[in-house]
Amino acid sequence: MAGCAWVAAPFLSLVAASARRWRSVAVCLLAGTLAACGTTQQAARSVRDLPPLELEGRRVSVDAVSRLAPTPDLLAVDDEMRRFVEQYTGDVGGARQRLMMLHRAIKGAGTLDLEYDPFADGTAQEVFHRGTANCLSYANLFVALAREAGLDARYQWLEVRPQWTRMGERLAVRLHVNVMVDLAGREHYMIDIDPLPSREIAGSRQISDVDAQALYHNNIAMEALAVDDLEQAWVHAVRALQLSPLIPHLWVNLGAVYRFSGQHREAERSYLYALDLDPWDRSAMNNLVVLYGLEGREEERQYWVQRVERYREFNPYYHAWLGDMAGENGEWRQALSHYQHALELLPEDSRLLFETGLIHYHLEELKDARRYIERAISAAHLRSDIETYQAQLRVMERGRTAGL
């Protein structure tokens, strides 16, 4: 999976955010469409000691990785990029004004006019001259240009709310990266080429430039795996781990490469080590379910199936999903019960509070609806969310249905 949500949305977003950082509730990601959770006790793994990839008639060792998968400078700028920054921000004094001017210059039809392409990986220079980007490569471009303009720009990892099918199993997992720019006076702006709806965001955290390099290699690895190029997939997956060995999903993806090469024991070790790093990594657990199923190890498979189910029961967004399903059927009391359970697990989530308020509104319990929406406003981080919640309160005060 590439480093973005694979949906077409050729526009950019500049959203003011609060200084508060969200705690991750759901760990994102993965190779394919698998996910899960768990705890193990594996010995610490050294990337340099990884067994070689076994291909037909030959082997690829860790010693070859630096030669086969060199890491480019994702943030390097050339003279044309420097002139671009100088042209649009050189005469602007304030940091906030420079940020706005730079953002307009990048998105404007008369300037760069970047287009979103979920498969358009690359460095800042490649994106600048090519004109297409996915979320990670756009982040490379914006971080590079913003720093050239004297702004404090950093990569940000967004945690995406899980999504289930109607049978209660995971449908897909997404990894999304954008940019956070910190300005003086505790102002923070989130910049994104393919913005996620706020209701899909479960949390965020800043990541280092080195982590971004690791994700760059991870994207290449997963694209290679999708076309059965196991050598490219393996060398880039290993290179990603050389850069950021503590990111659990990179171990999961390496395990996927080993599994496709038939090296099941190495796949198993990689999945289990990912769970040592993050006991709630859903991808690692579901990959173990798949692996043990392939091998007929039913007792072990059932163990991890049960752990996946336990994870699901303790995930507030699963209960919110159940509430949404009940609401679609007009079963508002049942929907309320599911959302109350979700709030017991995550009481300060503004979107859960807001949706609970809307359910009370459907039930014509206006006092409770107002109380939950006011709590949602207090808990919200993004200005766009606050404005949405306030608009709903105004609708309620006018006694309208707001299209619900």
Output phi, psi for 125, to 5 deg. -65, -45
Question: In this predicted structure, what is the pLDDT of residue 75?
Answer: 98
> Over the chain, what is the mean pLDDT?
84
Q: What fold is seen in the domain 316-397?
A: 1.25.40
Contacts of 321 (CB under 8 A, 6+ apart): 162, 163, 164
Distance between CA atoms of residues 8 and 182, nearest Å: 28
Q: Provide CATH code, domain 1-302.
A: 1.25.40.10
Residue pointed to by tokens 């706020």: 198
Buried b (16+ CB within 10 A) or exposed e, 359-374: bbbbeebeeebbebbe
Alpha-carbon distances, residue 237 vs 114, 221, 257, 266, 335 (angstroms)? 28, 5, 8, 14, 42
pLDDT at 33 over 50: no
The total of other beta-carbon atoms located within 10 Å of residue 180's CB is: 20
The per-residue pLDDT for range 118-163, each reduced to its tens digit, is: 889 999 999 999 999 999 999 999 999 999 999 999 999 988 877 6
Question: In this predicted structure, what is the pLDDT of residue 20?
Answer: 30
Residues of the chain with CATH 1.25.40.10: 1-302, 316-397
The per-residue pLDDT for range 232-261, each reduced to its tens digit, is: 999 999 999 999 999 999 999 999 999 999
pLDDT at 1 over 90: no
Question: In this predicted structure, what is the pLDDT of residue 200?
Answer: 78
Question: In this predicted structure, what is the pLDDT of residue 164?
Answer: 67
Distance between CA atoms of residues 348 and 354, nearest Å: 11
Helical residues (DSSP H) of 108-158, grouped into ranges: 124-130, 135-148
What does the angle CA 246 – CA 252 – CA 258 come to, to the nearest 5 degrees? 120
Q: Is 380 exposed, middle or buried (0-12, 13-18, 19+ CB in 10 A)?
A: buried
Question: In this predicted structure, what is the pLDDT of residue 21?
Answer: 28
- Provide the percentage of residues in the chain whose pLDDT is more than 90: 66
User: Do the beta carbons of residue 177 and residue 157 sit within 8 Å?
Assistant: yes
- Provide the percentage of residues in the chain whose pLDDT is more than 70: 84
The per-residue pLDDT for range 332-362, each reduced to its tens digit, is: 999 999 999 999 999 999 999 999 999 999 9
